[in-house]
């Protein structure tokens, strides 16, 4: 809870500073855009949180987004019915996660290597299948694009409309939170992240749990790929999804997911995703050169992680002192 409070305070501070410096930050149009992008990146961040909590990592998220985001319009352009196209890309994203999980658990390959190879393979496959040609939905699927670009009027709030992706992210976040906090799977996942060997010796089927985490991650990346593709409409295989895995991992880590595994909350991940998008928006609003974007975001992430580690060490030191006093007393 303390981690969530810390990241929330940082988000409020960034919003406050930006709003004071540029009043357009709090305009209905800008808030709508930030909310929409936060929702899209929040979905993929929720997915990677499951993998990080298990003690793993997934570097292929951006390329999965690329592959799914280009395959959907490609299939629709070939005349594949919409339900079948959705079924194909959904099954493909699940198969990718399943392959990652099997390679990591059965062949004992390092998650870093497996997903790094995936990063290269999936984007290469997307570019090869489409011959590096831009894919798009055109005007024939305006109803379908509502999933990513639609807005819902809110009563008593003039000018602001709630982006539909926010509702999708909210539903997925609630489901993920229930899965993580209220089910045996969630308890097992955290146990594996804390100590996989101990979890295995206690009777937990660790392989099955880890495979499921990677399937969830790839499936949510696939949903993200669909929504990102529908959002921008004109999908370029060489561009879509670039560095998105870094944004997702950063959001999860900032939101309280320990990179060592074993801990994390979905609420924290969503707040972390919001902070990442607000930071990027603030850079634009404050007139900071875009070339410094990655440097600033990287510095903020580093400060957040270092602060978290220092607070954790201080808390451990205090607990050790208290235990020593109780023992001596």
The pLDDT of residue 2: 66
The pLDDT of residue 293: 78
The pLDDT of residue 48: 96
Residues 245/48, Cβ–Cβ less than 8 Å:
yes
Which has more pLDDT, 219 or 10? Answer: 219
Answering whether pTM is above 0.75, one says yes
The pLDDT of residue 101: 97
Over residues 9-25, mean pLDDT: 90
The pLDDT of residue 198: 93
Per DSSP, what are the bridge partners of residue 135? 235
Over residues 247-271, mean pLDDT: 89
Count CB atoms within 10 A of the CB of residue 302.
10
Please name which of 37, 71, 94, 50 lies closest in space to residue 247, comparing C-alpha atoms.
Answer: 37
Inter-CA distances, 74 with 84, 92, 97, Å = 13, 14, 22
pLDDT band at 94 (very low <50, low <70, confident <90, very high): very high
Please name which of 278, 272, 275 lies closest in space to residue 22, comparing C-alpha atoms.
Answer: 278
Residues 38/163, Cβ–Cβ less than 8 Å:
no
Distance, in Å, from the CA atom of 55 to the CA atom of 104, rounded to the nearest integer, reads: 12
User: Pairing between strand 151-153 and 161-163?
Assistant: antiparallel
Each residue of 198-228: pLDDT tens digit?
A: 999 999 999 999 999 999 999 999 999 999 9
């Amino acid at each position: 809870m303390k981690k969530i409070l810390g990241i929330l305070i940082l988000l409020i501070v960034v919003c406050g500073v930006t709003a004071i410096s540029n009043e357009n930050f709090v305009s209905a149009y800008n808030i709508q855009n930030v909310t929409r992008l936060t929702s899209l990146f929040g979905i993929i961040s929720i997915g990677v949180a499951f993998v990080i909590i298990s003690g793993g990592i997934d570097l292929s998220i951006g390329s999965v987004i690329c592959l799914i985001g280009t395959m959907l319009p490609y299939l629709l352009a070939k005349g594949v019915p919409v339900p079948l196209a959705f079924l194909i890309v959904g099954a493909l994203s699940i198969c990718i996660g399943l392959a990652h999980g099997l390679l990591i658990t059965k062949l004992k390959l390092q998650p870093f290597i497996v997903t790094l190879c995936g990063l290269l393979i999936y984007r290469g496959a997307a570019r090869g299948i489409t011959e590096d040609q831009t894919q798009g939905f055109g005007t024939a699927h305006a109803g379908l694009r509502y999933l990513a670009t639609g807005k819902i009027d809110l009563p008593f709030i003039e000018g602001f409309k709630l982006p539909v992706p926010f509702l999708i992210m909210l539903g997925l976040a609630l489901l993920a939170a229930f899965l993580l906090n209220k089910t045996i799977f969630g308890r097992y996942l955290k146990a594996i992240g804390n100590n996989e060997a101990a979890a295995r010796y206690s009777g937990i089927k660790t392989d099955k749990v880890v495979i499921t985490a990677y399937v969830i991650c790839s499936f949510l990346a696939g949903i993200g790929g669909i929504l990102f593709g529908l959002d921008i409409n004109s999908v370029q295989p060489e561009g879509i999804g670039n560095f998105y895995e870094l944004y997702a991992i950063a959001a999860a880590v900032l939101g309280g997911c320990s990179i060592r595994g074993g801990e994390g909350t979905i609420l924290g991940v969503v707040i972390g995703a919001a902070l990442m998008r607000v930071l990027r928006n603030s850079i634009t609003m404050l007139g900071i050169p875009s070339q410094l974007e990655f440097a600033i975001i990287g510095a903020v992430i580093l400060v957040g992680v270092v602060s978290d580690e220092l607070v954790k060490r201080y808390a451990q030191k205090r607990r050790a002192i208290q235990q020593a006093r109780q023992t001596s007393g």
